Amino acid sequence: MSRLNLDDFTDLIERPDGGVRRDAEARRERQIVPAGALGRLDELGEWLAAAQSAVPVRPIERPRVILFAGDHGIAELGVSARPAGGAEQLVRAVLEGASPVSVLARRQEVPVRIVDMALDCAPDVFPQDVGRHRVRRGSGRIDIEDALTLDEAEAALRAGIAVADEEADSGTDLVVLGDVSVGGTTAAAVLIAALCGTDASVVTGRGGLAIDDLAWMRKCAAIRDALRRARPVLGDQLQLLATVGGADLAAMTGFLLQCAVRKLPVILDGVVAAACALVGQRIAFRAPDWWLAGHDSGEPGQAKALDRMALEPLLEQGVKVGEGTGALLALSLVRSAAALAAELPEKPEAEQEPEEKEPEEKESE
């Protein structure tokens, strides 16, 4: 396998169409509801028009929830309220329709796709379409060993790129991106602390099930130890993902970058998606222009990452469960913004303010 050159993404990723965004802003000025009266919905509609390169903006008709799944060896230290290797049960709940994201997805008629990258279970436990991109069984314990080999990290990143291409080619027009993992928030916190130059305590949260103080201290110590291993490889993002990331995080990073290449908008869920987005920003600085922050999960690492990327969460509902749930709630907001931008009628021509003309210069006598 030839080594992947991540620098290529800088040249491949373009910003959303600025000219189209100006056209969308001008159209909004002509609509019957005063500009600004709809708050962030105006901004969302204009962002989506630029991403689609279309005015009026097209409705979101084929969204999809994509969840990358994996177990992390660091969970052995008791840093999560869930048992190490427990992501298999979470995946099963999603597939059986018994998880929050499954319920919301049914109501919104949005399909959910799970991509097993490193679950700690036999590869044939789930259907072939779930496990065909798997890189390994579980990721390494990042406080004392690498999460992946460099070849595994590259294979995972390429898998994420392939999934993005599959979605873009199938007509998906917006992605809700999340993770299904145990120990994933710990790995995400290490990536964020390393890339933002902060200490472990600044990014250590309590996870979806709110670990107790003792578990929080164990988690903080694990992040501190992993940070020591991360800092020497900060200049090489693939090596960073191999050292302290995991197969699911590497795949999500590749997925996000390729979605930006394919001009496919993404709503980010929680701290794991935010960490992968932050790695993606370090690889290609224009990439975050294609992403929205779905919600504020309450994780300090997520807040740190989003602030670094200048992304403001769309919702603040205190949703901590992960698995794309908060970002899926935000999808309704994005769809509403698209509908308002496209369907609100324009003011009668007589009521529209004429464009200001440049004063003509008088000829000198």
CATH of the domain at 321: 3.40.50.10210
- Residue 42 is assigned to a structural domain of this protein: no
Domain carrying residue 305: 63-332
Confidence tier at 363 by pLDDT (50, 70, 90): very low
Q: Which amino acid is at 205?
A: G
Residue 303 predicted with pLDDT over 60: yes
Dihedral angle of Cα 191, 203, 304, 118, to the nearest 10 degrees: 40
Which residues are 346's β-sheet partners? 31
- Residue 45 is assigned to a structural domain of this protein: no
Tell me what the mean pLDDT of segment 227-246 comes to: 97
pLDDT digits (tens, 9 = 90+) for 310-346: 999 999 988 888 899 999 999 999 999 999 999 999 8
Residue 364 predicted with pLDDT over 50: no
Report percent pLDDT > 90 for the chain.
Answer: 88
Helices 271-283 and 247-261 cross at an angle (nearest 10°) of 60
Among 37, 294, 34, 61, which residue's Cα sits nearest to residue 179?
A: 294
What pLDDT, on a 0 to 100 scale, did the predictor assign at position 310? 96
| Burial (CB count <10 Å: 0-12, 13-18, 19+), residue 336 | middle
Dihedral angle of Cα 338, 340, 341, 343, to the nearest 10 degrees: 110
Write phi, then psi, for 154 (nearest 5 degrees).
Answer: -70, -40
Q: Which amino acid is at 122?
A: A
pTM: 0.93
Tell me what the mean pLDDT of segment 284-310 comes to: 96
What pLDDT, on a 0 to 100 scale, did the predictor assign at position 275? 98
Which residues are 70's β-sheet partners? 118, 181
Number of domains in the chain: 1
d(CA 190, CA 107): 35
- Residue 1 is assigned to a structural domain of this protein: no
Cα atoms in the 13 Å half-sphere on the side-chain side of 224: 9
Residue partners of 105: CB distance under 8 A and separation at least 6: 65, 111, 112, 328
- Residue 360 is assigned to a structural domain of this protein: no
pLDDT digits (tens, 9 = 90+) for 92-120: 999 999 999 999 999 999 999 999 999 99
Among 99, 290, 65, which residue's Cα sits nearest to residue 208?
A: 99
Active-site residue set? 323
Measured in whole angstroms, the distance separating CA 254 from the mean position of its chain's CA atoms is 11
- Residue 349 is assigned to a structural domain of this protein: no
Confidence tier at 217 by pLDDT (50, 70, 90): very high
Tell me what the mean pLDDT of segment 245-254 comes to: 98
Which residues are 63's β-sheet partners? 174
Confidence tier at 348 by pLDDT (50, 70, 90): confident
- Residue 145 is assigned to a structural domain of this protein: yes
- Residue 364 is assigned to a structural domain of this protein: no
